[in-house]
Structure 1
């Protein structure tokens, strides 16, 4: 079991002392760089080089061993060969060191034998409560206190300035790249943490650490694969509660192929779609490029996250206004028109302006610079936009215009400190820094500005979201040793209150006739076999059975088809069920994700799921409020909500079924592989929802 001691982990970010095991006197070597960086940048903590072959290292007293250190260091950096790493980790742990950063490589990344040696490091550390970053880590940096526990050569280009953005990356090289490009773009950093093999501490653990760090305001994550979900989810939840935006670049997209499982749900709910759903649940903005990551992080440091985000645009170019409008439409950022009375007032000031939104002041602003503050103020005061984007192209940087333009923009900015202000212009680095210091985020490309502004709304909605209702709790559910038949599956699901149409399993023709008469015509007849999961593919489902004679004929036909199509299948009889009509066909499913556990899926049946894959996913369990939000979020939801004169479906019953299904998935435990309820009929409002078919797949055992 992993130790849980946040105080020890926190020392990684703010160590008062650090031992460097394998320290080098040569500042260009891996063992010399951390010491050189810290000395050069003014780290105020105590540095203890450990090197049995030297008495001094880079002007500091060196010690022959961990045991010879004058005090127990808060943390250590281990830079010895793989063969010596276990001895170093053991000595540090026995000494009482809180945590160690392992640069040393040659462990799990090399194969099974390396993985076994890596586990020995973890066991030795955990025996005394010590925590590890790495091995195979590029280190950890805190520019705020000048701790440079890294050998990243990018520091030679420029050391990052202190700021509010933390970078956490599984990839050392790419994380260091993010550090370098952030520094080049004048983004201040509070931490750079490169987790390496994650033998012990993971991205999630480090996320929780930086959420607790007062200097960190925004968090950038880079992940190639989520090793341990509980820590990540805890960190994401803590970040949302602390109103600290999280951006994530998750690479290595993959989908679970249909050959991997017979479940329809599993073929749709691929790894990457589940990741998307989980990140959305916690309000994380997922980015695709480094450029997006930097743009959004830079704007997020302003600390303004409108829950109801709208964009007002002031421009000196009609063409740019169209580009911005298209970009906003593409990302779903609302750009409502200015009120008519405000438009009329602005036209009186400038008859040839375009005052709708975007508001185009034309080149006339060069003659009347006060138009900038007047029109921008109107956008906020009368248009009530929460975000403003100004397009000024190169005029924002030319000497004859820039000082007066900047002054006019500052007038409006000072009146509305709670509004997001972004500018699209070209200027020198020094001029851009001046605009940024005035409170404006500057982008050369207005479309990039729109993407960043829209992300602030995503954060705002996540931060403002009310706590969800508690999920239902069910007693543990005992699953059968093999895949159940449809009838058995429905009996299991009934434990969670999931309703199905009246039905009966019949083993003889006469029993089927009796059942049909009792249930009432019309009925549906289906082959019953735990070995035939998808009955319709072999003609194992008969609809619109209206008469006794049809029941007799149908029973014989189904049994014959079952024997022909699947000679080895166990045929348990025929299911006779009430045929329901008048509802909307939906699909509800569960997929056991290898990282996040059971994940629920909802969508409309037929073409919507088969071809359009108009589905929504959510981690289990959840309450009926989340279920209803899922149902209403799909593109086809108008079919459930009364579109084109259709009756409104029983959303309440459907939501409760989906919520109960999510609780069932958790209560059933890890042997549950998948569930398909396809179709579920959502009847008209007040008439309920019923699972017409049910397929449950389990791990045999």
Structure 2
């Protein structure tokens, strides 16, 4: 069953990217001015639709008849490019709505980025466009283009030297400058950009809208995205779900890693699930590759643009020197690619083909093949047909650039890989641009560095693995909900609520006197654990509010007196409900399980190893929304401490299944009560031996402000 959230396809995009007619409002006769560049580009690109320059001071603009107003244009333009200063935009946008224009770009700055007055004007423009069903791009953006139709609605200098003529790569960027930089780098890398859009301040159209629509286009094979911030998390989730369903790779550069909005002062979970880790989780769940550098983003776009993803992580290596093979093996280990040896029959075949070369993976062919290039052809055939590798990297240094050998090498590799074009063949080589282009046209991916080549294959493998994972279920689906009492919640209250949802805790009791403490400890069993109970004391250990190993009834009575005295001294204003007396839990592996509300994406579930040490080591896994059991198991397996749960150094295996069930329970509770709950934290949780379950030893439940 599809897990794509129900959301209408963004409207107005067809008119924006493939307009039949364009009005350029405020068009300049000077093609070097911002207000003249888009018109200049349209003419230069051979745009086939009608173009209507609007300029009340001129009869012609750049050789085209001009019109004194939009109303005077003899057509209803699909698209309007508004090249006017901010003070004139109220009327310009209103004119577009009155005319029935489908989409409009506002280039001008001076809006939300300048302060409250600019924000108010931006909101006014957005509301006018929304009411008039006008798809608005910007303000403070560089516009958009669709190469195949020759529509270039931008003034970006990225297209000065050459305008794209059509390709399967789409670029969408909040930052026009960054988007232009990407387009420039793509052209230098022989990557054909078919769609390009800058969203700027996003008054009417955001990155998510663009990703959603672009993922639906049959002529788009990969989407490059850049964002500094996202306001509508559900809209982005919908867009990424559509891309996943359509198997359209998304390579996302998300910058900014602050933890703003997290209630870190009161919850370890909040500090562990900072905003940047939430984006990591989101991208992992939807099979998106998060690029950390621009070079990585371009490298992977280049690899994706060929439309071939490896079926697995098996890597064959062919070199002309053993040293390059070592480099590639080292890189493969860093990126999790598998350089497995060849079967014995294949090794015998290599020895027969090339007695002077090596007979395994990696295969060093030595220099003898320069006299007989069929050796290269046969080596590739063995690697693919008998080694059954999912991809093969060949390291040929600068030899392909040689006038003597270059064409022969290319033809030899082409013959050896002709039957295996469903797998990526990567070449590490240095050569003149025209030589590189000829190798690319033969079907190969070309990189000038071993590390980047292997990183690109890892990225392709990750994308393929992401497509094979099911999408997360829509948040809140089939999640039970109960009304919560008024907060704030002490630990005892949190335990009661979470226990009713299915979270297991040790046997415990809240007492209000030393005598009750002695009786409760005798009932629960010794040694006992005793903790102060107060909705105003979130982290009890910081005030000495927890005592362990209480040995007998007399010690329990004394512990009650000591704990209440410590709370009164450290937090005299705190409301103290009593002391919780609990049975000491059996030994096991300590972990942390929690959830918190992200201001953009809503409930986020967190798992970390080490219990109280999780925040120090940052060994955590995060997911957005409710998780099912399979996803919970993947979360657990992601952490470095997973080994502690699977019998590290002879220890018994822990109850990972029960731990996964706990993650499902906590995530469901957080989603069901997202309107009331800011954070849920179980820290530590003891994971007992396999088949014995888990026990949450401490519970923290924080309300959202203003919800009591």
Normalization by structure 2: what TM-score? 0.95
The C-alpha deviation readout for 1:297-332, integer Å capped at 9, x for no partner, is 111112122242221110001111111111111122
Residues 1:312 and 2:316 aligned together: yes
The aligned residue for residue 609 of structure 2 is: 604
The C-alpha deviation readout for 1:637-689, integer Å capped at 9, x for no partner, is 12112222222222222111111111111122244222221011112222221
Distance 2:313 2:269 in 1: 34
Distance 1:40 1:665 in 2: 56
Residue 474 of structure 1, aligned match among 476, 479, 482: 479
Distance 1:127 1:257 in 2: 32
Residues 1:326 and 2:330 aligned together: yes
Counterpart secondary structure, 2:668 = helix
Distance 1:469 1:533 in 2: 32
Residue 531 of structure 1, aligned match among 536, 542, 550: 536
Residue 690 of structure 1, aligned match among 675, 688, 695: 695
1:270-309 equivalences under 5 Å are: 270-309=274-313
Q: CA deviation at 1:480?
A: 5.3
Please list every run of 5 or more consecutive structure 2 residues that lacks an aligned counterpart in the other structure: 1-6
1:233-244 equivalences under 5 Å are: 233-244=237-248
Distance 1:276 1:516 in 2: 45
Residue 515 of structure 2, aligned match among 510, 513, 524: 510
1:232-631 equivalences under 5 Å are: 232-256=236-260, 260-466=264-470, 473-479=478-484, 481-606=486-611, 609-631=614-636
Distance 2:695 2:133 in 1: 53
Distance 1:468 1:33 in 2: 44
Q: CA deviation at 1:163?
A: 0.7
Q: CA deviation at 1:257?
A: 9.7
Counterpart secondary structure, 1:126 = helix
The verdict on how the C-alpha distance between 1:691 and 1:553 changes in structure 2, with shifts beyond 3 A counting, is: same
The C-alpha deviation readout for 1:327-352, integer Å capped at 9, x for no partner, is 11112222112223322332343334
The verdict on how the C-alpha distance between 1:166 and 1:26 changes in structure 2, with shifts beyond 3 A counting, is: same
- Which runs of 4 or more aligned residues in structure 1 lie more than 6 Å from their structure 2 counterparts after TM superposition? 469-472
Q: CA deviation at 1:481?
A: 5.0
The C-alpha deviation readout for 1:407-435, integer Å capped at 9, x for no partner, is 11111221112111111112222221111
Q: CA deviation at 1:169?
A: 0.6
Given that 2:429 and 2:446 are in contact with CA atoms closer than 8 Å, whether structure 1 keeps it comes out as yes
Residue 103 of structure 2, aligned match among 77, 96, 99: 99
The aligned residue for residue 8 of structure 1 is: 12
The aligned residue for residue 144 of structure 1 is: 148
The aligned residue for residue 230 of structure 1 is: 234
The aligned residue for residue 30 of structure 1 is: 34
Given that 2:260 and 2:275 are in contact with CA atoms closer than 8 Å, whether structure 1 keeps it comes out as yes
The aligned residue for residue 59 of structure 2 is: 55
Distance 1:16 1:197 in 2: 26
Residue 205 of structure 1, aligned match among 199, 209, 232: 209
Residues 1:113 and 2:117 aligned together: yes
Distance 1:517 1:465 in 2: 51
Distance 1:456 1:183 in 2: 21
Distance 2:472 2:358 in 1: 44
Distance 1:259 1:624 in 2: 27
The verdict on how the C-alpha distance between 1:184 and 1:161 changes in structure 2, with shifts beyond 3 A counting, is: farther
Distance 1:549 1:391 in 2: 76
The aligned residue for residue 182 of structure 2 is: 178
Q: CA deviation at 1:695?
A: 1.0
Please list every run of 5 or more consecutive structure 1 residues that lacks an aligned counterpart in the other structure: none
The verdict on how the C-alpha distance between 1:257 and 1:203 changes in structure 2, with shifts beyond 3 A counting, is: closer
Distance 1:570 1:6 in 2: 52
Given that 1:51 and 1:63 are in contact with CA atoms closer than 8 Å, whether structure 2 keeps it comes out as yes
